Chain A
Amino acid sequence: MSVIELDRATLQIGGRAVLKDITFAIEPGEFIGVLGPNGAGKTTLMRSILGLLPPSAGRLAVFGRAPRCGDASIGYLPQLRTVLPDLRVRGLDYIASSMHGERWGLPSLSAVNRATIEATLDAVGARDLANRALSDMSGGERQRLLLAQALIGDPKLLLLDEPLISLDARHQEVVIDVIKTVCRERKITVLFSAHELNQLLGAIDRVLYLGNGQAELGRVDDVVTAPVLSRLYGTEIEVLRAGGHIFVLSRGRDVERADHMHDHGHDHGHAH
């Protein structure tokens, strides 16, 4: 049984079809890199898989059934928001807020839950973050904390929305490495959205490229080609391979890099 299966599915936001008539299937244990220009539907797809946005047409199945909110078998790492500078919440309290955070009443943290949080932080090499304030953490540390949180409850599917954003190259590698190792060990299926393909090349099994309302899932060599990307970007695209790197160019400009810059100048809160 596929972990995620879309059969001629259309995903709409406010009457606009972000993804149209999409069909693909993701198998257990796959590490999928999700790429595409801003607004191509990376976040929208993840929100649909989480059960927040039912397809307006076609079928979307997660673990063989319609997705529902609060499914414990899905771990989710949303796109990083800016943290209020005065908010001195400890890493432990931050994660604790997410454990049964949907229940009414006063917050509480049982010894069992505390042990679970600490064990998961250990697994991503971030035990020391439990007692540090969120506002004092670097971008890389925060991503590790969020990754640990996403792993709680032993999910079988992990949705990681731009976990590399605002990290420098070295920390990007560290984060990818941690995710790859932990997910291989636990046989977790991963959807990992990113702006740049190159850092992910060593980690991903297949790539899911979104753009122009369409989606293309396949091996990097089959998908990241001039004809496929030209169709997805809706413009003439050149693909150059050099020294183990892949460069996606539009009229001589690196589209991934341009996208990345663009994203930093604007509000991160927008749906992609």
Chain B
Amino acid sequence: MFQYEFMINAFAAAGMVAVVSGIVGYFLVMRGQTFAGHALSHIGFAGATGAGLIGLAPLWGLVGFTLAAGIVMGLLSERINNRDVAIGVVLALSLGFGLLFLHYYTSFATQATALLFGNVLAVDHAMIATLAALGVVTLVALAAIMRPLIFASLQSELAEAKGVSLRFISTAFLAIVALAVAACAQIVGVLMVFTLMVGPAAAAQRVATGLWAGLVLAAALALGEAWLGIVIAYHTDWPVSFCIAVLSALCYFAALAMPRARLAHAH
């Protein structure tokens, strides 16, 4: 398996992206913004196809669109908070634009499947370097705002009273999510970003009670699912994204089924 360079590349790229996705996803789940993450990836699809149309690398179209959309969603967060319908409409509109761009740039159509469902086996060295840079920027930014982010996520009113700018935190966080989504879409595709960003994080949050334990578990689950997914795909010839999606779903439902250790209390 490791005699092939594309396999080594796949493990490296998927590993980095999985760790970043698991950690960022943990906060996405904590804030109840998973749908916003999903929408960002779809908006990225329009960006990627649009970039292809004007001759730019799809990744930069993806990053540009998700980042811009993340910042706008953060700035509007007070107005679009929990407005699933508004987010859903924009999501569908973005896919529509993606389709339009593909329509006018037909030679790009072969890449459409890769964009939508990922193609980790085609990752090259340049892409690995880009993903590593994206990952580092994402994690450093997240580390910088992590303390007020947790405070604002768990207790927004109190955080506001203590002088935390909810709007800044919300905007900065969605910008961070946008970068993670762009990286994640390179591995599992824009349609399946949930598998690495939400599945492992949600499973970790149900199992672990401590913050650091939860973060480590989310990253470890995402990494395990990504790598094991590649191994399974190698031996079965099934698509990698499918294998990762199955593992992600299995982990989440296993976590759901785990009995909770409830203490019997009088109140």
A residues near B, CB below 8 A? 47, 50-52, 69-70, 74, 76, 78-79, 84, 86-90, 93-94, 97-98, 100-107, 128, 131-133, 136, 138, 140-141, 149, 171, 174
Q: Are A102 and B263 in contact (CB under 8 A)?
A: no
Most buried by B among A131, A136, A140: A136
A216 to nearest B CB, angstroms?
26
Q: How many angstroms between the C-alpha atoms of A102 and B157 in the bound complex?
A: 13
What are the residues of chain A within 8 A of B155 when measuring CB–CB? 78, 94, 97-98, 101
Q: Are A101 and B30 in contact (CB under 8 A)?
A: no
Q: Are B161 and A69 in contact (CB under 8 A)?
A: yes
What are the residues of chain B within 8 A of A86 when measuring CB–CB? 29, 202, 205-206
What are the residues of chain A within 8 A of B109 when measuring CB–CB? none
Confirm or deny: B150 has a beta carbon within 8 angstroms of a beta carbon on chain A: yes
What are the residues of chain A within 8 A of B267 when measuring CB–CB? 138, 140-141, 171, 174
Q: Are A101 and B208 in contact (CB under 8 A)?
A: no
Q: How many angstroms between the C-alpha atoms of A133 and B205 in the bound complex?
A: 11
B84 to nearest A CB, angstroms?
15
Stretch from B46-54, B124-132, B138-146, B223-231 at the A interface: B138-146
Q: How many angstroms between the C-alpha atoms of A87 and B155 in the bound complex?
A: 13
Q: Are A52 and B150 in contact (CB under 8 A)?
A: no
B213 to nearest A CB, angstroms?
10
Confirm or deny: B151 has a beta carbon within 8 angstroms of a beta carbon on chain A: yes
B143 to nearest A CB, angstroms?
6
Q: Are A88 and B208 in contact (CB under 8 A)?
A: yes
Q: Are B162 and A138 in contact (CB under 8 A)?
A: no
B224 to nearest A CB, angstroms?
20
A71 to nearest B CB, angstroms?
9
Q: List 14 A-B contacts (CB under 8 A).
A: A50-B161, A76-B158, A93-B209, A97-B150, A97-B154, A100-B147, A101-B150, A101-B151, A101-B155, A101-B164, A102-B147, A106-B147, A132-B263, A174-B267
Q: Are A105 and B147 in contact (CB under 8 A)?
A: yes
B176 to nearest A CB, angstroms?
14
Q: Are B32 and A84 in contact (CB under 8 A)?
A: yes
Query: What residue of chain A has the Cβ atom nearest to residue B153's Cβ?
Result: A97
Q: Are B30 and A104 in contact (CB under 8 A)?
A: no
Given A89-B211, A90-B210, check contact A102 B159 (CB 8 Å): yes
Q: Are B161 and A70 in contact (CB under 8 A)?
A: yes
**Could you say which of A98, A128, A171 contacts B151, with CB atoms under 8 Å apart?**
A98
Q: How many angstroms between the C-alpha atoms of A78 and B155 in the bound complex?
A: 9
Q: Are B148 and A104 in contact (CB under 8 A)?
A: yes
Q: Are A93 and B163 in contact (CB under 8 A)?
A: no
Given A88-B205, A89-B154, A101-B151, check contact A76 B146 (CB 8 Å): no
**Tally of chain B residues near chain A (CB < 8 A):** 36
What are the residues of chain B within 8 A of A140 when measuring CB–CB? 267
What are the residues of chain B within 8 A of A104 when measuring CB–CB? 144-145, 147-148
What are the residues of chain A within 8 A of B152 when measuring CB–CB? 101
Confirm or deny: B235 has a beta carbon within 8 angstroms of a beta carbon on chain A: no
B168 to nearest A CB, angstroms?
11
What are the residues of chain A within 8 A of B265 when measuring CB–CB? 128, 138, 141
Confirm or deny: B79 has a beta carbon within 8 angstroms of a beta carbon on chain A: no
What are the residues of chain B within 8 A of A52 when measuring CB–CB? 160-161
What are the residues of chain A within 8 A of B143 when measuring CB–CB? 105-106
A119 to nearest B CB, angstroms?
20
Q: How many angstroms between the C-alpha atoms of A94 and B151 in the bound complex?
A: 8
Q: Are A136 and B159 in contact (CB under 8 A)?
A: no
**Could you say which of B160, B205, B262 contacts A136, with CB atoms under 8 Å apart?**
B262
Q: How many angstroms between the C-alpha atoms of A112 and B208 in the bound complex?
A: 24
Q: Are A78 and B148 in contact (CB under 8 A)?
A: no
In the A-B complex, the 7 residue pairs with the closest CB atoms: A101-B151, A78-B157, A70-B163, A69-B163, A50-B161, A107-B147, A90-B209
Given A50-B161, A70-B163, A102-B164, check contact A107 B154 (CB 8 Å): no
What are the residues of chain A within 8 A of B209 when measuring CB–CB? 88-90, 93, 131, 133
What are the residues of chain A within 8 A of B146 when measuring CB–CB? 105-107
What are the residues of chain B within 8 A of A131 when measuring CB–CB? 209
What are the residues of chain B within 8 A of A88 when measuring CB–CB? 205-209, 214
Q: Are A102 and B163 in contact (CB under 8 A)?
A: yes
Mark contacts of B189-226 with chain A using CB atoms, 8 A cut-off: 1 yes-contact digit, 0 otherwise.
00000000000001001111111001000000000000
What are the residues of chain A within 8 A of B206 when measuring CB–CB? 86, 88
Q: How many angstroms between the C-alpha atoms of A50 and B29 in the bound complex?
A: 29
Mark contacts of B148-182 with chain A using CB atoms, 8 A cut-off: 1 yes-contact digit, 0 otherwise.
10111011011111111000000000000000000
What are the residues of chain B within 8 A of A128 when measuring CB–CB? 263, 265
Query: What residue of chain A has the Cβ atom nearest to residue B145's Cβ?
Result: A104
**Could you say which of A87, A98, A136, A141 contacts B162, with CB atoms under 8 Å apart?**
A98
